[in-house]
């Protein structure tokens, strides 16, 4: 799918990898981007960073059907349709099986993570797909592309990541059945499992912590550049034969237990 002129919904788009991807796709590829996020202040700033003529922000709770429906109504009112959905929004809340003194972790803590990271992804991708099927098929094949953002934690999670890992592994399980179902209407579904990236949050960490993270990376031995993530999203969109796959974008790194 050609990116120029396409309408791309990015959840978690007001910061980090989502914002970096929005900037890249709008400024270098000519896309129009709709940023879904809860943080209204960050969203307004993100639109300035991307360029108001190419971007819009809608305050959105991805775990709420009504919120996502209203957000997509705003997108179609301005841009007309949706061609691409990139699900970056996620909660990284730490969660163990047993907490202090060997007490079972309350189910609500686990469910809080999956509500956003699993239910929220399905909520947005399904409602975006509903819009995509209305599109004219490009080259007689494609009406839309969905990219769900998983994590290296889906494969080798650290202690304390049981909820996050479960939620990110669930996205890998969505790939094949969703791609098989939606392929008949011209929609591809893929995922990215990123490793450690130099996000604004990482930049705030102590140098010793950053050095410890970097030591877990194989080659190249550095944190990923957010533009490399954005470029991977563009590759998935543009390569029409890539479907039902997960790209591990992690410099061959594997997370340690701690």
Q: Are 94 and 160 in contact (CB under 8 A)?
A: yes
Q: Is the pLDDT of residue 95 over 90?
A: yes
- pLDDT in the model for residue 115: 98
Residue range 50-65: average pLDDT?
A: 98
CA angle, corner 78, sides to 74 and 229, nearest 5? 80
Residue 258's pLDDT band (cuts 50, 70, 90): confident
Residue from 24, 155, 164, 241 carrying the catalytic annotation: 164
Note the residue count of the chain. 258
What's the CA gap between 137 and 139, in Å, rounded? 6
- pLDDT in the model for residue 40: 97
Q: Which CATH class is domain 7-199+225-248?
A: alpha beta
Q: Please write down the HEC assignment for all residues of 188-204.
A: EEEEEEECCECCHHHHC
Query: Of 89, 69, 66, 122, which Cα lies nearest the Cα of 10?
Result: 89
**Is position 24 annotated as part of the catalytic site?**
no
Whose tokens are 């479907």? That residue is 243
């Amino acid at each position: 799918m050609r990116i120029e002129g396409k309408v791309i919904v990015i959840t978690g788009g007001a910061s980090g990898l989502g914002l970096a991807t929005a900037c890249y796709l709008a400024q270098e590829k000519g896309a129009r981007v709709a940023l879904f996020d809860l943080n209204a202040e960050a969203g307004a700033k993100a639109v300035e960073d991307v360029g108001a003529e190419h971007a819009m922000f809608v305050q959105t709770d991805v775990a709420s059907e009504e919120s996502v429906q209203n957000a997509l109504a705003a997108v179609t009112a301005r841009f007309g349709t949706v061609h691409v959905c990139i699900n970056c929004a996620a909660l990284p809340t730490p969660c163990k099986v047993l907490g202090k003194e060997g007490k079972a972790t309350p189910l609500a803590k686990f469910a809080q993570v999956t509500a956003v990271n699993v239910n929220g992804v399905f909520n947005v991708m399904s409602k975006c797909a509903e819009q995509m099927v209305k599109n004219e098929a490009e080259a007689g094949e494609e009406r839309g592309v969905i990219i769900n953002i998983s994590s290296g934690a889906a494969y080798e999670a650290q202690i304390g990541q049981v909820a996050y890992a479960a939620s990110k592994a669930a996205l890998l399980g969505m790939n094949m059945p969703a791609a098989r179902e939606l392929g008949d209407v011209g929609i591809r579904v893929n995922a990215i499992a990123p490793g450690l990236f130099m996000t604004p949050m990482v930049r705030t960490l102590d140098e010793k912590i950053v050095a410890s993270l970097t030591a877990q990376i194989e080659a190249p031995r550095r944190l990923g550049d957010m533009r490399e993530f954005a470029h991977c999203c563009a590759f998935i969109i543009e390569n029409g034969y890539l479907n039902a796959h997960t790209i591990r974008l992690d410099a061959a790194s594997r997370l340690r237990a701690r």
